[in-house]
Structure 1
Amino acid sequence: MIRTTNYKPRSYPRNGTSSPVQIDRLQDMSASVTLNRTKLEELGRNGLVDWRVGNPTVSLTLRQLEYGTLEFFQNLANVAAGDLKIDFKDFDIPSVDIAAYETDENDSFKSTIWYPGLRLSGFSINIGDPDSLVERNFTLIGEDEITLQGSNAYLNVGQQTASGGSAESFTIANPTPVADPDNSGQFMFKVLRTNDSDGTTDKLKFEAGAGDPALGTDYYTYSGGTLKVHTSISDEVKYYYSAGAYISGEQTFTNNDTDAAGLEAKMCSVYLQTTSYLYRLQSVAVDVTLNRFDVLEIGDVNVVQRGVRDVTSRVTLGRILDQWTIEEVLRGEVAGYGKLDIRKFQDEKNLIIKIYNNDDKDSFRIGYKFTDLAPVGIDDAAPLNDYVSRGVTLEGESGFITSDENEL
């Protein structure tokens, strides 16, 4: 059996030079897989003609404690560690592969569960109450789940920078690839080339043989530990394969004792319109939904182009009713303004969540800004023998995440 302490998650970005990361502070990772099989029947026949096999639908959900780093957001956006601001639109095209490496209770490595080609379809930030830990939740969608076991048990992903050549050779020996059981003569699950000139990433096609790819610049060959790819200088080449071991000198997961274990509600500051601090808040719930438009085409079983029709960000602020700061800001008036008519509430408001390393708030860690918000709902509650509470919901479609407080 496999305990979750031996379930080690990693994320592999598709585009650019961004590197794989382990997914720290993960509390739950759950997959829902629908195989989309349809019965085909006909008049006059008792029983099935056949089954139609459609593309599977995979939904992967992850629940993570907020620990004050951009690392996983950067990975999902396929950007480098030096990018300190990630706009919601940066998630439109990128994808990641997420793999969980599984070891049983006898310390015997069993398998890798691999979810290729996942795209972010939404995330949330939740501050449940004043005594809670801040949580992030992510939903990713794809079409595949693959289990690797036996001599193919480990998913390995290599990455090398090209020197440039009509056909450049890359040595793959750490560890030595094992043949793909589903495809005779093939060892690579996929090979990607990110073009340094324009930043686009191409998935290369397999060409049999050990020589230079002759069928075109969008082909590769692999034989005896040598991968050959047409490249230009500074292109980035990534290759995915399985083996009976993981990369020598590296671990699938190492304990991160440097970053915070988890950041709490008392370490947060929430502002409406940049400077209006919100008091008596009891909960903050943020949901960002990406309405994806991932394109298939006739003649291909895979997604050929990725996009997002629109983004919806929805923020709900729950508080004990004591001051009218939120309503005053939405009304566009100063504190103490005498009449707060909901018909005169304004749009295009901003909400900022700043999260610090402790409750002294002396070191900024991460921030979320939601822009061009409009009020869409109000909930009042006056229960018997309790305090009056009020919830305000705002909705917009833009924002960003940053580790640079000056951006906020």
Structure 2
Amino acid sequence: MSSKVLHEFLQPQLEALREQGLYNVIDSIEGPNGPKIKINGQTLINLSSNNYLGFSNDARLKAKSIQATEEYGVGAGAVRTINGTMKIHDELEKRIAEFKHTEAAIAFQSGFNCNMGAISAVMTKKDAIISDELNHASIIDGCRLSGAKIIRARHQDMDHLRELAKEATTSGEYEKVMYICDGVFSMDGDVAKIPEIVEIAEEFGLITYVDDAHGSGVMGKGAGTVKHFGLSDRIDFQIGTLSKAIGVVGGYVAGSQELIDWLKVRARPFLFSTSLTPGAAAACIEAIDVMDSHPETIEKLWENGTYLKAGLKDLGFDIGHSETPITPCIIGDENLTQKFSRRLLEEGVYAKSIVFPTVPKGTGRVRNMPTAVHTKEMLDEVLKVYEKVGKELNVIS
């Protein structure tokens, strides 16, 4: 039972969220998170997972996870800096660095932890961070934790970035200036302009930081957005997750050896949280090996993404400017967006609504995440349902 003070704070806040269509109901799935899932006994085509390559239930990854668990145990038993670093963790970090074409890499417990730890390990209140206005919440929180001055840059506006970079680096106010952006922006699916970013950063002496959570395993034959542009040696920080396309859990920073050495002594989540489980580390290594040896898996992801986007666009939906398999259907009004998502579910398609504060007010959308393991028949069924619900709710004519 909440105290009276807490109740008086929580009750009206929750009620207001429900009235505005901003309250998110969490559904529990019964079984693995695959192209089809079961919720409350109902089988649904799943378009809300970040499991881009279908690895979260892949037999090869499960086998490696079980093998490592038998060899090392279910947990690491300590933080990395005491005696929680096992050979399997070293192998994972070496494999990530090879895959990302960097000198070294460090594994964290989550992608969120990467941004909380890496930004604040390098940037201080004497510095400034230029941050794309649509950056992920974990980047925003990491910037705040650093104490640095945060300067918002208009989304993907390179002229504005140049202007801000010139102003920040010539003002004499800051010791260091960093530019941070997502590699692939998760709500719209557009890709960072890495070549232009590198050009501006090198002109003005900016530290560069790319969070490639949605690009790892998707762009650059799996190695990410920076590799896609052939610029792995010109971006200081490459951040990624091990929980989306890789299909397991965790995150990583890839970069120079001295950067990784520094993070291992200064990144607080690395210093004060127990390591990834051995089973997770082994499964991540296997995922990277499979991506390397079976590029057709990534090709299938892109084929499915292109097919679904074309179908939704032909029906008349606003799918924004996505350049990746991420496929938003922008509805606008929050309550209508929530209703649209509920109707999809009733018709057998699980595609969650995304509303404020995840996206700006008035830009509510249903975000579709096709994966490599969806079949064409599943996607055709999705398009039929979208057409039915879209016309019913007057979203399309």
Report which of the two structures shows the higher radius of gyration computed on alpha carbons. Answer: 1
Structure-1-length-normalised TM-score = 0.21
Structure-2-length-normalised TM-score = 0.21
